[in-house]
Structure 1
Amino acid sequence: MKTRYGSTICILIGALALAGCGSEAPPAQEREAQAAEAPSADQPVMGPERRVLAFGDSLFAGYNVDAEDSYPAKLEAALRANGVNARVANAGVSGDTSSAGLQRFVFTLDAQGETPELVIIELGGNDLLRGLPPAQTRDNLDTMLAETQKRGIPTLLMGMRAPPNLGEAFVNDFDTIYPDLAKKYGAQLVPFFLESIYQRPELIQPDRIHPTEKGIEELVAATVANVREALPKAPAS
């Protein structure tokens, strides 16, 4: 069955599999230490610092790119360029399914020096790769959103979409997860995080899986407005 995904389906499936390629993930303690570390920035900025936690898999961790070229680092730079004194902590871990993310979610939140003003959650692609039941993905993301709600932290959910070759029922069950949970918890939503690049193979690395540095820049450009909208208003000086 042909859809608008068409000939790019292999790239899309590969992008959903980001964490399944490359070297093995480091030990849990090392991963958590890396995840809690925020990228540095040299730009002078004005106003109160706005702390954001970017929590996800290798779409956030940044496969085969320098740390300063990862999505959280480039997002931080884009926010600063738009007048937001942002500090974005990169809590992306390659290989994470939603279950693995859930296991470290509370630890990562507690490990932040200060409570973040916004948490961005980007998980689910590896669940698709492994053919995990959508109900399991939904439950894991639901638990994470319940945790941020309990702590009073605004959340931005980066949605994913299942490729059509997984079947109509599976696609429907998976694709409704993100809008349903965003509505349930009053979270902001990017319906499909890869929308801006999945039909542009020149923005995918030669492995046909991971975004290039330019691809990451495109993802940031397409979503920085969503992040700004999701951030609560800065307190008055």
Structure 2
Amino acid sequence: MLHLSTLRFRYASGRAIRNVCMAVGLIFSAPAWAEPITVVALGDSLMAGYGLAPEAGLVPQLQAWLTEQGRDVVVVNAGVSGDTTAGGLSRLDWSLTPETDALIVELGGNDMLRGLSPEEARANLEAILKGGQARGLPMLLVGMKAPGNFGADYKARFDAIYPDLAAQYGAVLLPSFFAPLTEMADPAAAHAMMQADGIHPNAEGVKKIVAGLGPKVLELLGRVKSFSP
């Protein structure tokens, strides 16, 4: 005959084993997407944060904005000041580490400022998008608008690069990096959000640009699939 104390011991032991098994099951059934999403932001000085304090650059401000949205994301700053589309393409392979889940491409401004061929910029950006596509990465392409300095034909050819490639490669498109500033009703207020060089936004300008960029990044994150380690 079993004593009551023996039954209690067996019941307690069985319950402990069951609890351990449940805990182990929860650990191994946890979805892989519980890990932070890693987004590589490939770009030039606008991405690198030229002329700004480290915490005021585009990537840190975007990171903070995404955190405020409750998103568990790590944005990797792969911006290099002065980089052209050719420069971005040359460092694509080592920028896209195995941890990369999504790619932001912000390049072309320096090609435009130097009057380089729009066809050359298009070819380089296409090669970058092909590289991201080959890795199965959802992508966000940040567009640029050329001024009229090089003529209407140059502007038309350059401006068409971004919507064309975004459609071709299924990338999320932000039509114009500077739209949040250029579309302000008060030109003086927009000018006050630029650094002295008239090319790079200051900290307040970046904040306004991030407010326009952020929703597009959320759309990008929505395309990131869960993955197995």
TM exceeds 0.5?
A: yes
State the shift of 1:99 in Å.
0.8
The structure 1 residue matched to 2:173, chosen from 189, 193, 196, is: 189
Which residue of structure 1 aligns with residue 217 of structure 2? Answer: 227
Q: CA-atom RMSD, angstroms?
A: 1.5
Structure 1 residue 235: Cα displacement: 4.0
Query: In the alignment, which residue of structure 1 is the partner of 2:42?
Result: 55
Higher relative contact order at CA 8 Å, sep ≥6: structure 1 or structure 2?
1
Does 225-234 or 93-102 show the bigger shift?
Answer: 225-234
- Whole-Å separation in 2 of the counterparts to 1:209 and 1:137: 19
Runs (5+) with no aligned partner, structure 2? 1-33
Aligned with residue 150 of structure 1, among 124, 134, 157: 134
TM-score (norm 2): 0.78
Specify the SS of the correspondent of 2:192: helix
Q: Give the paired residue count.
A: 187
Distance 1:58 1:148 in 2: 21
Asked if structure 2 preserves the Cα contact closer than 8 Å seen for 1:56 and 1:121, the reply is yes
How far apart, in 2, do the equivalents of 1:76 and 1:64 lie? Answer: 19
- Matched residue, 1:23: none
- Partner of 1:133 in structure 2? 117
CA contact (8 A) 1:157 1:188 kept: yes
Structure whose residues are more often helix by fraction? 2
Report the equivalent of 2:153: 169
The within-5 A match list for 1:75-224 is 75-109=62-96, 112=97, 114-198=98-182, 199=187, 200-224=190-214
Q: What secondary structure does 1:119 align onto? A: strand
* Alignment deviations for residues 2-45 of structure 1 (CA, whole Å, 9 cap, x no partner): xxxxxxxxxxxxxxxxxxxxxxxxxxxxxxxxxxxxxxxxxxxx
TM-score by length of 1: 0.76
**Contact (CA 8 Å) 1:98, 1:137: kept in 2 or not?**
yes
Q: CA deviation at 1:117?
A: 1.7
Deviation at 1:206, TM superposition (A): 2.2
**Shift, 1:140, TM fit:** 0.1
Partners of 1:72 and 1:147 in 2: how far apart?
Answer: 22
Deviations 1:108-137 (A, max 9, x none): 11xx3x432210000000001111000000
List gaps (5 residues or longer) in structure 1: 1-46
- Name the CA distance, whole Å, in 1 between partners of 2:213 and 2:197: 24
The residue aligned with 1:36 is none
